[in-house]
Amino acid sequence: MGSVKTVTDEANFQSELANAGTKLVVVDFTATWCGPCQRMAPVFQQYATKYPKAVFLKVDVDQCQETAASQGVSAMPTFIFYKNKAKIDRLQGADPTGLEAKIQQFYGSEDGEDSEGVAGHMDLSPFITKAQCECLNESDEHPLAHALTSSGGYLESDCDDQLIISIAFNQSVKIHSLKIKAPSDKGPKNIKIFINQPRTLDFDLADNYTCVQALQLTPEDLEGNPVNLRYVKYQNVQNIQFFIEDNQHGGDVTQVDQLTIIGSPINTTNMGDFKRVTGTKGESH
């Protein structure tokens, strides 16, 4: 990579998104008459060189009016970020620092192929609405937020070994697998999974409700290797909850260093507002 590709029309735009696969795509919606756009052009080229494993596209809104309209672009410059053909974020205005910050946020540690090692799927972190996530029985010093990033820290249980983790998405997704990093002794062992619940389950409900799937993890599963789910059960997920019943050695403290959910978004258009679809009560299984 390392260069900026100019999009010629809507078909070309869709083709570039499809060809990018799970790589980050950064699109500059620009216009020749826009002064701030022209000032950002060399910056955009610089970032294309600096982040060669991402795809950088330039769309002239006058030449590609259909594309600009379909992507909800009404002011220039607008930068929209995509993965798996789905919008994951956007930035409006000539802000070099803000643009690079978002590139770094989604660029990750891609290796040129599928960064998660699961063909056709991606880390769904960009689609998680963290403000609507919660964890029951988390330690004040080691909350859920620590396990949803790779920047250090970990999630730890408080009063006993059980945890209920509730993850909300800003759009419907398909979930293929989980990647869990945790200590071989304190890491989760038995997990019950629920989807599309109207609210976070309490421990009594989680213990009695019929789950979508029950997992029994081994210490090897806690090394960050993909743990495949019953994919057919997770085709339209708006929220997912994990009831961690115990840990590997039966101690009082359960620890999760990192939890990554792998899958793909369902909706690939009109994501600009990031409006979360309200979940309905979980399925009967």
> Domain count of the chain?
2
The reported pLDDT for the residue numbered 83 is 87
Percent of the chain's residues with pLDDT above 90:
78
Q: State both tokens at 36.
A: 């701030």
Check whether residue 240 and residue 137 sit in a common domain: yes
CA distance 34 to 48: 21
**Which residue is catalytic, options 37, 64, 135, 211?**
37
Work out the burial of residue 192: count CB atoms within 10 Å of its CB; fewer than 13 is exposed, 13-18 middle, 19 or more buried: buried
User: Known catalytic residue: 159?
Assistant: no
Check whether residue 155 and residue 258 sit in a common domain: yes
* pLDDT tens figures, 216-264: 999 999 999 999 999 999 999 999 999 999 999 999 999 999 999 999 8
Query: Is residue 114 a part of any domain in this protein?
Result: no
Structural domain boundaries enclosing 81:
5-106
CA distance 279 to 285: 17
Check whether residue 100 and residue 25 sit in a common domain: yes
- CATH number at 129 reads 2.60.120.470
User: Known catalytic residue: 135?
Assistant: no
- CATH number at 31 reads 3.40.30.10
Dihedral sign of CA atoms 165, 166, 170, 175 in order: positive
pTM exceeds cut of 0.95: no
- Contact between 175 and 204 under an 8 Å Cβ cutoff? The reply is no
Check whether residue 217 and residue 132 sit in a common domain: yes
Long-range contacts (CB closer than 8 Å, 24 or more residues apart) made by 144-153? 147/256, 147/257, 147/258, 147/259, 148/258, 148/259, 149/125, 149/258, 150/258
Query: Is residue 81 a part of any domain in this protein?
Result: yes
- Written as one string, the DSSP assignment of the chain is --SEEEP-SHHHHHHHHHHHTTS-EEEEEE-TT-HHHHHHHHHHHHHHHH-TTSEEEEEETTT-HHHHHHTT--SSSEEEEEETTEEEEEEESS-HHHHHHHHHHHHTT--SS-TTSSTT-EE-GGGB-GGG-EEETB-SSS-GGGGGSSSS--EEBSSSS-EEEEEEEEEEEEEEEEEEE--TTTSB-EEEEEES-SS---HHHHHHSPPSEEEE--GGGGEEEEEE--GGG-SSEEEEEEEE--BTT--S--EESEEEEEEEES--S--TT-PPPPP-PPPP-
Of 79, 106, 133, the domain-final residue? 106
The reported pLDDT for the residue numbered 30 is 97
Buried residues in 233-259 as b, exposed as e (16+ CB within 10 A): ebeebbbbbbbbbebbeeeebbbbbbb
Of 106, 136, 160, the domain-final residue? 106
Residue ranges in the chain whose pLDDT is less than 70 = 1-2, 108-117, 119, 267-285
Q: Can you give the three-state secondary structure of 42-85, one letter per residue?
A: HHHHHHHHHCCCCEEEEEECCCCHHHHHHCCCCCCCEEEEEECC
Check whether residue 97 and residue 141 sit in a common domain: no
Query: Is residue 111 a part of any domain in this protein?
Result: no
The reported pLDDT for the residue numbered 266 is 84
Check whether residue 153 and residue 191 sit in a common domain: yes
Of 82, 106, 130, the domain-final residue? 106
